[in-house]
Amino acid sequence: AFRRGEVCHIINPDINQEIYGMPEYIGALLSASLSRSADQFRKYYYDNGSHAGCIIHIGSSAVDRESMEALKKTLTESRGGGAFKNLLIQTT
């Protein structure tokens, strides 16, 4: 309920008219978001020792269990705080 003489100004963004259209910065939001994501990727890349994770495929069952465990441990410890993930696949 409004008192006499009060004004309630409701602005709805509308791309089809110029007076209250979408704010000009709306078009730049995607670019800013992508730029932030790229900066974050570069930071994680640097923090992770300049590598972005990997996929290692071992196609032989000749690798002993001790070597596989050592490789798993090395890959887990090289993640730099979880910035990137490594994938180890062993097929026989």
Q: What are phi and psi of 70, to 5 degrees?
A: -65, -40
pTM of full prediction above 0.75: no
* Domain ranges across the chain: 10-47, 52-92
Residue position matching structure tokens 């994501």: 37
**How far lies 33's CA from each of 13, 27, 29, 44, in Å?**
21, 11, 6, 17
How far apart (Å, rounded) are the C-alpha atoms in residues 24 and 42? 29
Q: What pLDDT does 36 receive?
A: 92
- The pLDDT tens digits along the chain (92 residues) read 778 888 887 777 666 666 666 677 777 888 999 999 889 888 877 776 667 678 888 887 778 889 889 988 887 777 666 667 778 888 87
How far apart (Å, rounded) are the C-alpha atoms in residues 70 and 48? 19
